């Protein structure tokens, strides 16, 4: 059972998330030969003030 963890900034619409997990599931089925029912996708939404790149918080950019 593949379990895929994804971290994204907050703010995506439910429809964007639906399309995203559908695409990830289809790619997983195609490349790993698993069934759609065996693929779990976990979305972790992160606030910009909790994410930094290059020593700078995204909320400061």
Q: Which helix (H) or strand (E) holds 42?
A: strand 40-46
Total-model pTM: 0.86
- Exposure string for 31-47, b = 16+ CB within 10 A, e = fewer: eeeeeeeebebeeeeee
Range of the domain at 52: 3-60
Q: Indicate the SS3 state at residue 33.
A: coil
- What average pLDDT values come out for the chain (61 residues) when binned by 10 residues? 96 98 98 97 98 96 88
Question: Residues 2, 8, 21, 41: which is the catalytic one?
Answer: 2
The pLDDT score that the predictor gives to residue 37 is: 98
**Is 14 a known active-site residue?**
no
The pLDDT value recorded for residue 22 is 98
Domain count, the chain: 1
What confidence score (pLDDT) does residue 1 get? 87
Helix and strand totals (H; E) in the chain:
1, 4
CATH number of the domain encompassing residue 31: 3.30.429.10
pLDDT at 18: 98
């Amino acid at each position: 059972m593949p379990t895929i963890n994804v971290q994204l900034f907050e703010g995506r619409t439910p429809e964007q998330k639906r399309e995203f997990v559908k695409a990830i599931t289809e790619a997983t089925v195609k490349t790993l030969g698993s069934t759609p029912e065996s693929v779990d996708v976990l979305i972790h939404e992160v606030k910009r003030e909790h994410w930094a790149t290059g020593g700078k918080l995204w909320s400061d950019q």
